[in-house]
Chain A
Amino acid sequence: MPGSGEKPKRRLFRLLRRGARDTTAAAGQAAAFESALWASHQRAATAVRETGEAAQRIASHVAKQRGVVDALADRARGVSARSTDLAAGFARVKETFARLELVALNAGLEGARLGEGPGQSLVLVADEIRAQATRGSEACRELGVALGELGSELSQVHSSLDRAREASAEVAQEAARVGGASADADRALSEMGDRLEKTTGSDPATARAIADAAEHARALVAALGSLSGKAPQAIVVAALRPVLEPILRLLEGEDEAER
């Protein structure tokens, strides 16, 4: 690779010299294109790296989410089983109230058989017991209905959790695919960078340094333009000579040395 063992500063100056020698517009355009190409490469590499990291984070979050969903499903199963137990308990309580109602009816019948005087209190107690048993039966029926609705809701929760689990699995698969694609893209970009480096003889750091140097040069030219006509040329030259001479010497001297 050209200049792979060189110091970056030396490589920069070599490229600057090359640019100084070749003054055609096409060469300038090529240099700008090369710089833009490296910048795009850098952006793509950054984006690919961030995409891979995001895919890993998504996979991690999805794994956590699946854990939560599984825990929820376990709890829902527990509640469902408890609900079934409760339904059986309610059925027994309802049956007990029904029996109590029959006992009250029989007590009332017995009271009626005993007649107005001795049977009256038995009839009254039987009526009260039957009224309470009926209320209990009604409450049991309402609770049974509520329990049935709870069971229905629970089955919906189960199906929703199943769907959430399936969705999590799909997201995990997609995240894995994105991660794999990101790794492929990273490898491809790395190869592209190697080929670009071989083809252009530059590297990202050098291209960035050239872009910075060009920016500074443009700023210098602009500053000189603003000085033009305002200050005596002798003063300007005297002020700029110490800065510009080393650069000129460097550019011209290296050229001569190469020749």
Chain B
Amino acid sequence: MGDAADHEGQPTKHGGVVFRAGEELFFLPASIAMKISPIPEMARVPGGPLELRGVALVGGVMIPVVDVVEGPDAGPAGAMLVCAVIGESVGLVGIEVVATGRFEAGEGPGEVKFGDETARTFDVAAVIARVREGRWAV
């Protein structure tokens, strides 16, 4: 991904979703970003980490819902991005989905260009790991 053009001279494009979390712009490839849905009703998990907003039933499966923006300013945005990494699903809230489609690759690895900005790939696995590491997990 370091070179942003394929062998025919056309710029390399990555399909996925670009979203804003706080001030930062992130990208998730379509292989991880499953769908965007309205924020569902959630059940709080007692003793869970701060960023875990709760668990919600999405498409018949109970998934954890994580607030991407940490701190007291984190509020519910309009949509939840459902992601799947190695068979595990997680819902991301506190984000503003900016666009979906195919985006030109950026300079750095895992980056895409969106207008004048560059969106770096969001690390969903890290979020899942962080949630798992919490004291609530067994």
* B37 x A109 contact (CB < 8 A): no
Q: A126 vs B99: C-alpha distance in the bound complex, in angstroms?
A: 10
Contact of A112 among B30, B35, B38 (CB under 8 A): B30
The digit string for B24-37, where 1 denotes a CB below 8 A from any CB of A, is 00000011010111
> Is there an interface contact between A108 and B99, defined as CB atoms closer than 8 Å?
yes
Docked Cα-Cα span, A108 to B29, in Å, equals 12
Chain B interface secondary structure, helix, strand, loop or mixed? strand
Among the stretches A17-25, A99-107, A168-176, the one at the interface with B is A99-107
State the Cβ distance, A111 to closest chain B Cβ, in Å.
Answer: 6
| B15–A119 touching, CB < 8 Å | yes
Closest A residue to B31 by beta carbon equals A113
Q: Point out the residues of chain B lying under 8 angstroms from A98, CB to CB.
A: 38, 78
State whether B30 touches A106 (Cβ < 8 A): no
Q: Which residues of A contact B99 (CB under 8 A)?
A: 105, 108, 127
A–B pairs, 6, beta carbons within 8 Å:
A98-B78, A102-B36, A102-B37, A107-B100, A108-B17, A126-B101
Asked if B21 is an interface residue, CB under 8 A from chain A, the answer is: no
User: What is the 8 Å Cβ interface bit string for chain B, positions 96-120, against chain A (1 contact, 0 not)?
Assistant: 0101111000000000000000000
**When A98-B78, A112-B102, A123-B101 are in contact, do A105 and B15 touch as well, CB less than 8 Å?**
no
Give me 18 other A-B pairs in contact (C-beta within 8 A), A108-B100, A112-B16 excluded. A98-B38, A98-B78, A99-B38, A102-B38, A102-B79, A105-B17, A105-B99, A106-B35, A107-B100, A109-B16, A109-B30, A109-B33, A109-B100, A111-B102, A112-B30, A112-B101, A113-B15, A113-B31
Whether B13 is near chain A, meaning CB under 8 Å from some CB there, is yes
For B, the interface residue count at a CB cutoff of 8 angstroms equals 18
Chain A contacts for B100, CB-based, 8 A: 105-109, 111-112, 123, 126
Point out the residues of chain A lying under 8 angstroms from B79, CB to CB: 102, 105
A95-137 interface mask toward B, CB cutoff 8 Å, 1 = contact, 0 = none? 0001100100111111111011001100100110000000000
